[in-house]
Amino acid sequence: MRCIAVGPVAAGRHRECSILIPKTVPECLSCGACCFGGHDRYIRLFPEDLARGLPDHALHWDGAEVFMAMTGGHCAQLTLTDAGTLACAVYDSRPTACRAFRAGSFECAMARRHRGAEAQRMTSGPAPLPDDLPAAGVIDAMSPGRRRVPGDRA
C-alpha cells in the first residue's frame, strides 16, 4: 500500500496517512462510489458520448448541455445486480468521464472515502425502522394540527 496524505504538512512533522491506495491497481470493486454526486449536473456528456447510443431515459438535458440522469444522489444507470453488487446498466456505452475514471486511482480512493457509505447502503437494503416510531397516521388537511390514525372517525 502507498499512502496519500491530504492537506498541508507542517515543517518537520510527519504526514498522517489519510488514504491508503494499493500499489497495484485493482479491478473495479463494484462499489459504485464513483457514480454518486451531489447534483443533476454531475456527469457531463460530450457529442462522442451521445454517439455511443446512450438511451434517452439515461439523459438529463439542461438547456443545450446534456448530463447523465441522476436519481437518489447517484447516476440513474447504477443498478443492483442479483449478486448484490452494483453495476452500470450502460457500461458498454458509458460516458467519457466514466471511461477516464480509473479503479485504484486517487480519485477512486476519494470517491470511496466520501461516497462509499452511500453506495454501501444501496447494497445492504433498507435500514430497519426504530421501535419507538409514532403510530402511522395521515395529516388531516381540514383540521390543521389534527392527525388521524387508522380507525379514527372524521
The per-residue pLDDT for range 26-50, each reduced to its tens digit, is: 567 678 889 998 788 899 999 999 9
Residues pairing with 87 in the sheet: 79
- What pLDDT score does 47 carry? 96
138-139 and 147-148 strand pairing: antiparallel
- What pLDDT score does 88 carry? 92
- What pLDDT score does 143 carry? 53
- What pLDDT score does 59 carry? 96
Regions in the chain scoring below 70 on pLDDT: 1-27, 29, 125-154
Tell me the C-alpha distance between 102 and 124, whole Å.
Answer: 25
- What pLDDT score does 52 carry? 95
Strands (E), the chain: 2-4, 19-21, 59-62, 65-68, 70-71, 74-75, 78-80, 86-88, 138-139, 147-148
- What pLDDT score does 44 carry? 94
Distance of CA 105 to the CA centre of its chain: 18
Rg of the chain over all Cα atoms, to the nearest angstrom: 22
- What pLDDT score does 53 carry? 93
Q: Exposure string (b/e) for 70-107, b if CB count within 10 Å is 16 or more?
A: beeebbbbbeeeeeeebebebeebbbebbeebeebeee
